[in-house]
Structure formats: structure tokens, C-alpha cells
Amino acid sequence: MKRTMKPKTSTHKRPTAIDLFSGCGGLSEGLKRAGFRVAAAVEIDPKALTTYRLNHPSVTLYENDIRQLDPEAVLADLGLERGELALLAGCPPCQGFSRLRTRNKAKSADDPRNDLVGDFLRFISVMYPKTIMMENVPALADDGRFARLCDSIKALGYSYVVNVLDAADYRVAQRRKRLILLASRVHEPKIAETRGDRLTVREALFGVGAPSATSDKLHALPERRSDAVRKLIAMIPKNGGSRTDLPVEYQLECHKKSNGFRDVYGRMAWDTVSPTITSGCINPSKGRFLHPSYNRTITLREASLLQGFPIDYRFDVSHGKEAIALMIGNALPPPFIAAHAKGLLLGINQSTLTIATRRSVTGGDE
């Protein structure tokens, strides 16, 4: 079992969380913003591990295939007993449940990543945390493995809520539909209230500046486009324009033959949210990823800001644009996670206060 262990401090006042399937750290970032102390994280991808370590150096990091990891050993490493963990959170890899893959149900059902939902349940059963958070793609709700997970946690004594939400309603500057499950055995969990004001692309990218005039290596990573593609991009109308706005003679032949995927070679608009940030966010042929004003796609720094990462979140540029784009596209938006984690933290604190009050009244005889 390979892990990076961090020195333990004597006391921790903040409730402890563990992040399974941590990726580059979006979930952990959100949990920390909500007030949790992330004690440990599990991830298998080497580049995601490097990025996580750059931004969360105090977390005990398990560099493991979670299927080979013993949850009892993790509890022992952290000095926790069964039932003491405040929050177990994670997003099992969701590519097998993605909308495009589930159009072919046979292949989707056979994707081995889908079975990692069962490992999430294995950790719940052993660790018996006070609360649980799981986030994933909406299609997971229709899979039998998710239904079994819900039935199992109910049998363990958890109350839970499930909903499909748009991250844009929680101050994330993009449309992003996600399924979220919140569960607790110490209070009745609730979905966080939505925010009435959506964060726009303009607000999220405010003050970033031009890639040519920055010391931010992530923001400055260059584009490589053919002259023909550069010319095409320059003709797309600013602030929300699309390839469909071009005269027919300038449209690509492949675009003329297809009515689908109409967002490709489209620009974002300044005063609304962006489309879902995916691993293709640096490629104009993958979606509406052109900058609202400049004749280029958004940069990786801009993509990370639209996901809700802080501007100083660190990525190792030696990993290459495609690998970093994959990490950012797969990440959980920290503001979305924080909004729901705050509710779980409030429930934990209230239950702790209630227990303490009862013990003071009864003299500890409970």
C-alpha cells in the first residue's frame, strides 16, 4: 500500500473528511472552503497525484487503486475509530456513465469503472462516517449499482437525499448538471439552497489579463492552430457568436453536413455562464470554447477559473495541455461542493452540540 504520510498534529478542531477518487483536488478544495479538515485522499493517476500534492501538501495521500486499499488500515493510519469520521466524500470515475457512453447501454454497463461505486460503499460500511457526499453524472441515477448503494446506506441507518443540480446555481460560472447524494446518520441532510445570482464568464475571468503578458505558466501555454483555423476563428462574431453565423462559403464541409454539435467553433458570451468545461476545453472543435473577445480558445487557467478553482491553484505545465485539460474537465467545482458540504458540517455541529447538552443535563449518564 503506497501512501504519502504527513506529520500528525496533536489536536484538530475541524471535523475530518476523507476524499476518495480525489483527482487534482477540486473536491478537497471545496471541503476545505466549507470548514472540513481533509485528512486523507485516494487517487491512482500519477499526474493528478502531483497536482493534488502541490495544492494540498498536508493531506495524507494514498497513491493506490482503491480496489486494493483497506479502509480499516486508512482509519488506523489516521488514528480514527469506526464511526468517528465526520465525512466520507468522493466521485467514482464517471466516464462509464457519461451521456454519450450511455447511448450504447451494453458497452456502458460493461465499463469496469462503473463498479467503483461498490468500493465507495465498501468504505462506507467499514468506516461508518457520520455523513456521506457522492457526486457524479446524472445518468448514474438510472443504474442499478446506485440503487443498491442507496438501499445499503439506508439499511445502515443513514437518511439521504439525491438530486440532479446545475452547478451554475451555486456560483460556478458554467452550466454543469450533476447528481449529488448527501447522507447522514446524525441529522436530516438537505440539498443546499440555490443562489439567485449566477456568476458570469466576465466575473470569473475578471483581471486575468492576456496570456502574452503573464508570469502564469498555465495561462501562457501557447496554442497551435493552422492558418485556416485561425482565419475561421477570427470570423466568428465576438461575445457568443457561432460557426452558424458565418456565410456558407466559410463554413467547414463537415459542419455543413451536420445539424448536431452546434456549439463547436462557438464563442462564450461575457454576461452569462459558460458551457460545461470538459477535457476538450482547449479545442474549438470540441465545443463552445472560444474566448468571448480574443481569437483563441480559453486558456487552461481560464478553464480552471470557470470550474471555480482559485487563480493560484497550481498545475505542473510539464504534464502537457491535454493531460491538464483532462484534470480540469474531470474536476468537481469547489464552490458547488462547498455549498453542500456546509450543510453537512452544520448538521454535524448541531448534533454534537445536542449530545453535549444532553450529557451536561444528565451528568453524562446516557
Mean pLDDT for back-to-back runs of 10 residues, the chain (366 residues): 58 86 98 98 97 98 94 98 98 65 48 76 98 96 94 98 98 97 98 93 95 95 92 94 80 59 87 97 95 97 98 98 97 98 96 69 59
Three-state DSSP state, 193: coil
pLDDT at 253: 62
Q: Which three cell numbers stand for residue 196?
A: 439567485
How far CA 57 is from CA of 31, 53, 304, in Å, comes to 15, 5, 20
How far CA 123 is from CA of 2, 79, 120, 332, in Å, comes to 18, 16, 5, 20
The answer to whether domain 3-196+332-362 has CATH 3.10.250.10 is no
Domain boundaries 201-329, corresponding CATH code: 3.90.120.10
Q: Which backbone phi and psi does 188 adopt, to 5 degrees?
A: -90, 110
Helix runs in 244-284, H state only: 253-256
pLDDT at 205: 97
Based on the residue annotation, tell me whether 254 is a catalytic residue of this protein.
no
pLDDT at 298: 98
In the chain, which residues fall in CATH 3.40.50.150? 3-196+332-362
Query: Residue 148 — left, alpha, or beta (φ > 0 → left; ψ -120 to 50 → alpha)?
Result: alpha
Q: Which residues pair with 37 in a beta bridge?
A: 16
Q: Which amino acid is at 195?
A: R
Give every strand in the sheet of 37-43, ordered side by side. 3-4, 60-63, 37-43, 16-20, 87-90, 131-136, 177-184, 159-166
Pair 133, 179: CB distance under 8 Å:
no
Q: Which backbone phi and psi does 221 adopt, to 5 degrees?
A: -55, 125
Pair 331, 26: CB distance under 8 Å:
yes
Q: Which three cell numbers stand for residue 70?
A: 483497506
- The active-site residue out of 94, 150, 254, 281 is 94
B/e letters for 7-17, b = 16+ CB within 10 Å, e = fewer, are: eeeeeeeebbb
Pair 20, 89: CB distance under 8 Å:
yes
Contacts of 194 (CB under 8 A, 6+ apart): 165, 169, 170
In the chain, which residues fall in CATH 3.90.120.10? 201-329
